[in-house]
Every structure is written in C-alpha cells, then in structure tokens.
Amino acid sequence: MNRYIILCFLALGSQTALAQFELLGTADYMPSGCILLTPNERYAEGIAYSTSKLDLNEYFEIEFDIYLGDKDDLGADGITFVIHDDPREFQAFGTYGEGIGYGRFNSNFVSGNFIAPSVAVEFDTYQNEFQNDPFSDHIAFLVNGSSYHTEYWNNENQQFNLEDDRMHNFRFSWNPETYEIIVRLDNTIVYQGNQNLIEDIFNGNTEVIWGFTSSTGNKYNLQYFCFRRIAYQPPSKLNDEGFGQ
Ligand SMILES: [Ca+2]
Ligand SMILES: [Ca+2]
C-alpha cells in the first residue's frame, strides 16, 4: 500500500503523467512519469491500464510517446495499444513473446491467454512467421486477441526500424459518428479504417478499458510509453481543410 501511495504521488507530481494506471507484470512507474512496460530483459511481460475508461460515444484523440528500445537485430517483441472489454477487466493479459502480451501464438486456435473483445495497434519489432510478420518492424491493427494480420504498415521499407533509441509520437483517434479510426506515428497516418467498434466489437458496450501491453522473449528491449494528452473534440473545420495539422 505504501508503494502505491508513493507511486501515485510521483505520477501526480509530474507534468506528463495525467492518468493513473493499473500495472501488471513488469510494468512500473518511471521517475519521469512515463510507464515502464518491459525492462531490458528476456521473457518479460508488462501491461498498464488507465483506471479511467474510455466512452466510445464520444470522439477522442489520445496521444503518447513510445520507446521501443535500442537493439535492432537482437531486440523484441514490441508493444500494443489496446482498447478492450475483456471480462478480466484490469487483470486481462495475453501471451508473451510474439503475442506481445495481447494476442496468442496461433490465430486458428482460441486457446491460451489473449485479450478479447478488443482492438489493438501493435508496434511489432520482431518477425514471427505465424503472425504473417514482415522482416521489418511494422504497425498493424489487430482485433479480438489475434496477433495474426494480413496488412501492416512499414513505410514500404524492409529496413524500417523502431528500435532506434528514440521516442516516437503515437496518436489514435475514434469518431463515433463516422466510425473512423486513424492511427498516426510521428505525424504520418499508418492506419485508417472504418468500423463500428461499439456494435461490431464491443456488443453495444461503450465503456471500455485502454492501455498498453508489451512483452519480450529470447530477444528483448527496454520498452515504455509516456501519456501526453487526450482530446474529446474533433479537429476544427480549419484542420479538416488542411490547415494547421
Ligand atoms: Ca527493428
Ligand atoms: Ca512479431
């Protein structure tokens, strides 16, 4: 209990940490106010969920800076941003290694640990053939605890690398009127889709949990995220016309 109080104090004292998180596995608060997901160690799994749920009836854009480590060839596995309504609520977790703490080893078998119902954006730093991963690091939109994807974004670059010892800006927006989801990495749109999350994924529920999952395997990296802001208003008309963004 004492540790919890101290961590909350640290978080509240930081200008960057404006959200409280439930922490699982190796996840922990960092002195900077960012949230450690995995240390630079083998076979780690860390998950952090905001204690405040999202309301999918409302427009939102949520922004983070993410860090995927500094080892390219020897690094793994990545992180996911997840929105879920799993019955385990703030204790939900998926498989380590190629599951990135979100998914499962084989999309054809609904067994093992995975998070569902859910959607997620994976930032994947290690190639796994069962998940249809390309050679390069990549970003993919995932559904209902399956790490397998048929499409991905890697800037059409087979050398694309996120384990570059740099922070990367990540934004996710949801529009309940148009059902549009937009994901940006470093101001580039890396996923854009239309899906009625409320009806198609969450069976009518609009109050959902959000957070990050992460893992390592035999290869590993330090991985963490920093919450920046959440906005509940869509971009202004000015921005829709191409100004200001
Ligand atoms: Ca890489
Ligand atoms: Ca992978």
Closest by CA position to 184, among listed 95, 81, 94: 81
The amino acid at residue 149 is H
Tell me how far apart the alpha carbons of residues 140 and 197 are, in angstroms, rounded to a whole number.
Answer: 17
In a domain, 15, yes or no: no
Encoding tokens for residue 167?
A: 């922070």
Interval between CA 13 and ligand 1 midpoint (Å): 34
Say how many Å lie between the CA of residue 44 and the centre of ligand 2.
15
> Where residue 164 sits, what CATH number does that domain have?
2.60.120.200
Q: What is the DSSP letter of 100?
A: T
| Domains held by the chain: number | 1
Neighbours of ion ligand 1 (CB under 5 A): 72, 125, 137, 161, 163
58 in Cβ contact with 75 (< 8 Å): no
Q: 60 is in which domain, residue-wise?
A: 21-240
Q: What percent of the chain has pLDDT over 70?
A: 89
Please, which pLDDT band fits residue 5 given cuts at 50, 70 and 90? very low
| pLDDT number for residue 233 | 84
pLDDT at residue 110 greater than cutoff 90: no
**Residue 137 counted as domain residue:** yes
In a domain, 14, yes or no: no
- What percentage of the chain's residues is helix, strand, coil (to nearest 5)? 10, 35, 50
Predicted model pTM: 0.89
How far is residue 119's CA from residue 85's CA, in Å, rounded to a whole number? 10
